[in-house]
Each structure stands twice: as C-alpha cells, then as structure tokens.
Amino acid sequence: MNMAYLLTGGNLGNREENLQKACALIEERCGKIQSSSSIYETEAWGMRDQPAFFNQALALQTSLLPAELMRELLAIESEMGRTRTVKMGPRTIDIDILLIGDQVIHTDLLTLPHPAMASRRFVLLPLSEIAPALVHPVLHKTISVLLAECTDPLDVQKKSPAAN
C-alpha cells in the first residue's frame, strides 16, 4: 500500500458537489481516503479570466501503482465532464497526484512529485492542513516549510472545514 497525496479542484458547476463526487469515485476505485483538508477557494492561477476554484487535498491509501492511479484519476475526470480544450482553462474537476511517498517519477503520463506544487499556495495550504510534516522528496523540505517560503500572491481562503 502507498500513501498518495492528491489535490482536487474545479471551477465549473457546483464546485463543492463536484469535489464530493470526485472523493466518492476516488474511494470507490482507487483506495481509502485517510484524510481530507478543508475546501479552499482560490482565484484562478495562470489563465486568470475565469471563475475562482475550489480545491481540497486528500491523503489516499492505495494499492494501485502510480501509473494505474493516474489512469484511474484521468478516467474519473473524464466521467465527470472534464474536457481538455484550453490549458489551465475552466474545468468541472481536476485531480492531481502531488506525491506518492518519496517516489520520483518522470514519464509521459506522470511526473512525481508534482513539478509545480512548491510554488502554488492553493496546493500547499490544503496539503499543509493534512500533512504538514510530509517531506518533499526532491526539495527535502516539509510541506509547512514550503508553504512558509512560498511567494505565490494568489488569495486562498478556507471555505469549509475538513470532513474528517
């Protein structure tokens, strides 16, 4: 079993409902969610002219190999209406694998740790809520230290408390 750390997000439709549905599908098909962060609202990163995102970090205990997990998460995104027409554009759901233990992977399908996680407050803030002492396997810093060092100016606001 591996502990995978995921970030779910979306800015189309009922954002909170979409995060809940994604969690249910992840648990049904990928493993047991051990903990989940509060839901955070964040202005769009990259392509700014779009609705704000809701994001939530998840700690998932899974027996799937990293590539299998990635393929399953992509299938869940597709089933939930995710279309990839505009890079960083609006979406119903986005499910990123941030870390799986201390694994470092670079393939066409998957890069671990997530290459941009250390520079994005909307990733680090919810992740620090559920795993502040987790160490980034390349940067060798804890999530709480990465958050303290993060210079991302985007506003990230807690919308609802963690479910567990």
Q: What is the CATH number of the domain that holds 22?
A: 3.30.70.560
Which residue segment(s) compose the domain that 119 sits in? 2-160
Q: Closest Cα to residue 35, out of 112, 122, 131, 104? A: 131
pLDDT band at 89; cut points 50, 70, 90: low
pLDDT band at 15; cut points 50, 70, 90: very high
Question: How far is residue 129's CA from residue 126's CA, in Å, rounded to a whole number?
Answer: 5
Question: How far is residue 21's CA from residue 15's CA, in Å, rounded to a whole number?
Answer: 10
38-88 pLDDT, tens digit each: 999 998 877 777 889 999 999 999 999 999 999 999 999 999 987 766 666
Q: Closest Cα to residue 51, out of 61, 60, 41? A: 41
User: In the predicted model, what is the mean pLDDT of residues 144-158?
Assistant: 95
Number of domains observed in the structure of the chain: 1
16-39 pLDDT, tens digit each: 999 999 999 999 999 999 999 999
Catalytic residues: 82, 91, 94, 96
Q: According to the model, what pLDDT value does residue 80 have?
A: 92
